Amino acid sequence: MTLRIGNASGFYGDRFDAVREMLTGGEVDVLTGDYLAELTMLILGRDRLKDPSAGYARTFLRQLEECLGLAHERGVRIVANAGGLNPAGLADAVRELADRLGLPVRVAHVEGDDLTGAYPGSLTAHAYLGGFGIAACLDAGADVVVTGRVTDAALVSGPAAAHFGWAPTEYDRLAGAVVAGHVLECGTQATGGNYAFFQEVGGRDLTRPGFPLAEVHEDGSCVITKHPGTGGLVDVGTVTAQLLYETGGARYAGPDVTARLDTVRVRQDGPDRVRIEGVRGEAPPPTLKVGRTRLGGFRNEVVFVLTGLGIEDKAALVREQMTRALATRPPAEVRWELARTDHPDAATEETASALLRLVVRDPDQEAVGRALSGAAIELALASYPGFHVTAPPGKGSPYGVFEASYVERGAVEQVAVLPDGRRVPVPSAPGTRALEPVPEPAPPAPPPQGPTRRAPLGHVVGARSGDKGGDANVGVWARSEEAWRWLAHTLTVDRFRALLPETADLTVVRHTLPNLRALNFVVEGVLGAGVAAQHRFDPQAKALGEWLRSRHLDIPETLL
């Protein structure tokens, strides 16, 4: 018995037509959509300040207006976390839509995640719930289930638990579904999107990858695939990349189960089919994660263009001028970054130019607005030769801060609001286990010695990186046993820091996942206060892995 679960959204703003594509492209039993990210919660929080009835992903409602009849006709159940901060409001809106369309659709929602009242000063504070609230709604006959802040993987584990009747203590099965959900959650990242080896998939159309499906089995194993004829590809590499995305150690903790990523086994199971099996699970930790957002203050920036000769001296001059101009009321935080995009003897003015970025932050909008704008513009005729900026600074915009904390499970009362209006409490996990690091496994045998050549790391390994609050992860994997032996012995924490100097003063933790031939590096604090604070050039660390792959080191010629 197989449950086919498809995904039609990896973030708020993903491909609008994906819901229709998934409903018409092939067989699917449950269609999920992930609309919530840390930044999205902040955006929805600001929406709710303007309109208390807002707070959910309106795109989802527009997608249903086109496709709810199609889903009902085909018997596809829909589960999405598009409820955001207001799942009850979205559920009501879906009911009104169904009535207007004349469809007998049963709608339910999950609530209880909102803890904002317990965190003064927070714009939003929401606990990450698991999948059993979703399961209760489906067991009661719901055709559409909307939730607030659940884990991304709960969108898959909840329907699987309902379909197969899993008990809360069947940890291996639940863990398998969580892993399947983690692969699906970011949509086309599992089918060739953002893939390190995209240049090597000859004959495959990566311009419009199809969205992924998981064929989940009763024992918790699954096959990742996609609808026939859709773009992209599903292979061990694309699935491994997504397994490593935004994870930490070997224990992947969730509200219902802790999945052991070091037990995951993947293998090709035919064209565009990858089997995931062997996943072991453990009791979840005794606390639930709470994601909190707040307004951190105001942010502004100006980018000075430095052209031709004397780039460093030009940068030093304008930096000194701006420092003096802002001395009366300096912003609370000032960051300068010089990007040497210039080339010697360049054939175009743009390629002869470097970019000097000044970013300021302060609780007071005036300190980053008019003061910065005036100081920069007044230098137009009084600074380095060739002075100009990419755009004049504005008045400053608010930025957000994401913080994670943890609460005892008893502080959170998850409730499934069924199609008939009944409110059913969802019990917490029957058992828990403290989250502890998995001991580092024994390394593989060292690779044989031989001649080496200086080359980019990415000629041998793939990588994918992403954000978790203020931290970033960089997952790196090898595609052969020989390359894995070399990678495991070569890419130490010290080597990682040397290759990425921006991490040199930060805490970097390496985790080893031999079954995936992978290393996962967690870089603590590299993103400051999270994506909404735009702490660095790449605020979500999406390209950190590609930077690592571009760095050169001595690589055995046999691997090249």
Q: Which two tokens stand for residue 67?
A: 């496709």
The pLDDT score that the predictor gives to residue 186 is 97
Residue for token digits 């979840």?
284
Give the closest residue to 26 by CA, choosing from 50, 48, 5: 5
Give the closest residue to 520 by CA, choosing from 244, 242, 253: 244
Judged against a pLDDT cut of 90, whether residue 164 lies above it is answered with yes
Average pLDDT estimate for 326-337: 93
The pLDDT score that the predictor gives to residue 532 is 66
Residue-wise pLDDT for 497-514, tens only, equals 999 999 999 999 999 999
The pLDDT score that the predictor gives to residue 38 is 83
Q: Where are the alpha helices (DSSP H) in 259-403?
A: 311-325, 365-368, 370-377
SS3 211: coil
**Top CATH class, 292-401:** alpha beta
The pLDDT score that the predictor gives to residue 15 is 97
Residue-wise pLDDT for 429-479, tens only, equals 999 999 999 999 998 999 888 999 999 999 999 999 999 888 999 999 999
The pLDDT score that the predictor gives to residue 136 is 98
Tell me the C-alpha distance between 496 and 27, whole Å: 44
Contacts of 521 (CB under 8 A, 6+ apart): 473, 474, 475, 476, 493, 496, 508, 509, 510, 511
398 pLDDT tier (thresholds 50, 70, 90):
confident
The pLDDT score that the predictor gives to residue 123 is 93
Exposed / middle / buried, residue 367 (Cβ in 10 Å: 0-12, 13-18, 19+): buried
What global pTM score does this model have? Answer: 0.94
The pLDDT score that the predictor gives to residue 113 is 98
Judged against a pLDDT cut of 90, whether residue 103 lies above it is answered with yes
Residue-wise pLDDT for 520-553, tens only, equals 999 999 988 766 666 778 889 999 999 999 999 9
58 pLDDT tier (thresholds 50, 70, 90):
very high
Residue-wise pLDDT for 190-212, tens only, equals 999 999 999 999 889 999 999 99
Exposed / middle / buried, residue 313 (Cβ in 10 Å: 0-12, 13-18, 19+): exposed
Tell me the C-alpha distance between 194 and 530, whole Å: 21
More confident residue, 393 or 293: 293
The pLDDT score that the predictor gives to residue 400 is 87
Give the closest residue to 209 by CA, choosing from 247, 245, 242, 176: 242
Judged against a pLDDT cut of 70, whether residue 403 lies above it is answered with yes
Average pLDDT estimate for 40-63: 93
- Domain ranges, ordered by start, for the chain: 2-283+412-425, 292-401, 452-559
How many CB atoms neighbour CB 208 within 10 A? 14
Rg of the chain on CA atoms, in Å: 25
Contacts of 374 (CB under 8 A, 6+ apart): 325
Tell me the C-alpha distance between 352 and 457, whole Å: 29
Q: Where are the alpha helices (DSSP H) in 105-247?
A: 132-139, 154-164, 171-184, 236-244
The separation between CA 555 and the C-alpha centre of its own chain, rounded to angstroms, equals 31
Q: For residues 227 and 273, is the Cβ–Cβ distance under 8 A?
A: no
Judged against a pLDDT cut of 80, whether residue 330 lies above it is answered with yes
The pLDDT score that the predictor gives to residue 44 is 93
Q: For residues 116 and 41, is the Cβ–Cβ distance under 8 A?
A: no
Flag the least confident range among 7-16, 41-50, 531-540: 531-540
Residue for token digits 């942010």?
299
Bridge partners for 274 per DSSP: 224, 268
% of the chain exceeding 90 in pLDDT: 89
Judged against a pLDDT cut of 90, whether residue 128 lies above it is answered with yes
pLDDT, mean over the chain: 95
Please count the residues of the chain: 560
Tell me the C-alpha distance between 115 and 111, whole Å: 11
Average pLDDT estimate for 228-251: 97
Residue-wise pLDDT for 66-88, tens only, equals 999 999 999 999 999 999 999 99
% of the chain exceeding 70 in pLDDT: 99
The pLDDT score that the predictor gives to residue 469 is 84
Question: What are the Cα distances from residue 73, in Å, to 23, 56, 68, 159?
Answer: 10, 26, 9, 19
Task: Report CA torsion sign: 238, 241, 242, 243.
Answer: positive
Tell me the C-alpha distance between 498 and 551, whole Å: 10
Judged against a pLDDT cut of 90, whether residue 310 lies above it is answered with yes
280 pLDDT tier (thresholds 50, 70, 90):
very high
Tell me the C-alpha distance between 234 and 440, whole Å: 30
Q: For residues 203 and 259, is the Cβ–Cβ distance under 8 A?
A: no
The pLDDT score that the predictor gives to residue 509 is 96
β-bridge pairing 423-425 and 30-33:
unpaired
Q: Which two tokens stand for residue 345?
A: 């003897």
Q: Where are the alpha helices (DSSP H) in 378-512?
A: 481-490, 493-499
Q: Where are the alpha helices (DSSP H) in 362-436?
A: 365-368, 370-377
The pLDDT score that the predictor gives to residue 34 is 97
